[in-house]
Structure 1
Amino acid sequence: MQFFISGSIGGGRLFSREYRDIRGEIRFCSLNNENLQCTEKIIYKDPTGLAPPNRLRLTGACVVDNSIYVTTFSQILRLDLNTGEFEQKHSFDRYNDLHGIAFNGYEFAVANTGLDLIHFLDDNFNLIRTLDVGALSGSSKIFSSDIDYRLIPSTKPHFVHPNHCFWFENSWWVTRFIQKDAICPETGEKWDFNLYGAPHDGIVTDDGVYFTTIQGTVILVKPNREMKTWNLRQLTGRTQIGWGRGIMIEKNKAYIGFTKIRKSVSSMAKQIAVKNGSVSNFSPRILELDLVSGCVTNEFIFSDNYFRCLTIFGLTNY
């Protein structure tokens, strides 16, 4: 099985002011005979100056043809899988803390977490329209048209904090981290995840839509809207397994990326760390979940010192 991780390498002590993203990375991996190997890494150090220096990371990604499209704090990049070269495709002054990108065959949807917006672009990266998820959710917060938000380290607290966009049943959907749900702005349909945690990432399959929550639960919403869940903390018998992020599905297995809980401008991450136990010895990892038996069947740990600061934003088959 071949897949890649989009994320960043961080530096500094966890929860310290010095903690920062040193660079973004795409890390290509293979999983054979229960052995995880990182076969190649492609480093991205932002040459544009269009982001604060401590926000040099790669976040959500999607594969289209022979390219990986990935978001940074303030840009959309294209990585050519043939050449291994990055190319900036889009950036403008409303981008702040982009978390994800998805493609439905003719347009891209981009989650602008910092401003509670979803931007839609055509396949030539021309901006088509913008959806104000904050206003749709009842926020009265107004962002200035005179500010270049690409240079603002944080706009927290967020009213919605949208992380993940996805195309399902011929409509765009988006997760709302604060409200703990996923909504379809076109129809108004909502899937409530309050019993399971705050959604971060997801993937659409023939089974339905799978989501991760930062608290460590995998949620499947089936086409008939029945929900099935797997609490990975209960299944592993642990109070702490990290911050749940990316997910990919391979046959009857789910692979979920967990990141060492990071410093946040708000106290949210630290509160979760205290509530769920110490994270001082926790390393980023991928858990393998058997979707049939409901058991965690393997765990792949990035355990050496270099990888302890790896932030896993997304896992994607290719």
Structure 2
Amino acid sequence: MIICLETSILGGHLSNEVPGLITGSLHLAGSRQPVQVELAGNFCRDIAGCRVDLHNPLPDADLDDVAWVSPLQSGFSGVMTASYRVVKMPRRRSAGGKKLEAPAGLKNLLFMEWFNKQGQRLLIQSWQIQVRVGAPCWKMSAEEESAMLRQARTRRKHFLLNQREDGGSQDALLAPGLADPFEPHDLRGNPFDTLPENLPTREKESKSGGIDPAARAATLHEELRRFGNLLDPVVTPSVRPAMIQLLSTVADLAVHLMHALRHFKPGHPVHGRHLVVDLEQSLPLFGAALNSVDKLASTPSMEAQRQWLARVQAGLLGIELRMRELLSLIR
């Protein structure tokens, strides 16, 4: 279940002043007591080691979502940054029937994501929340951030694939006092000492030392191909016709993107511009499909299709992440 708090939040703070630990409290409209946050993980490099104070000048309570939020949020962090750049805001349900019009052009968002013990994914994704960042108590290197983002992606897929299972792996992941299996932490010392020197990577490195856009394009092409196989009419379970129509539209778009990626040549100005336009226009539709599948998976009538929906969720999430990564390289 995904809970979006960007409209309901009144204010509060989150702190990553202790490496490997994120703590704080958030005040939500419609809640009598503040929500206490205690997560294993770190902020991204832009605010790592800092205390971040939040204030929402235009709160609008979403009582349905707030009712699902536990007063104690313990679990592990996802991507948490104050410099998340997007051109178009994702389509989400507007709280209270009101929607604040987003400004045109490139927007800098506050993006806070975490997963709690209740099997929920909580998001604060907003451009209008006022942010005050304190001085950092410690520094994170670019290599450490890259490793952390890969681990966050793995955690997100793990959550999507296991959110409806009551297995021991999920209990071990979220149980208080036990180490996070994706990134062990020793809070008494440097949390990055245990990271391997040569982290495995699926991307080729360019001669300049950066990530090769062609390798990113090939990885995205493979993600799209696997997603298309999931929507094969022979194996697609009988879900709601409207959902099948949405996924079919996304599958057609995936075929178009695969064609564009096959003809993409890094450094070619025309190919780069066309691919940027295709990716920017496709992201909102993939985001809408991901949100719709998530809501569908939470309904009791979909119990028989739970595993298939989890694979579709993981596929859509992987595609969305790869698209954003490729966009950051070719813009």
TM, length-normalised to structure 2 = 0.25
Q: Compare relative contact order (CA 8 Å, sep 6+) and give the higher one, 1 or 2.
A: 2
**Greater percentage in strand:** 1
**Greater percentage in helix:** 2
TM, length-normalised to structure 1 = 0.26
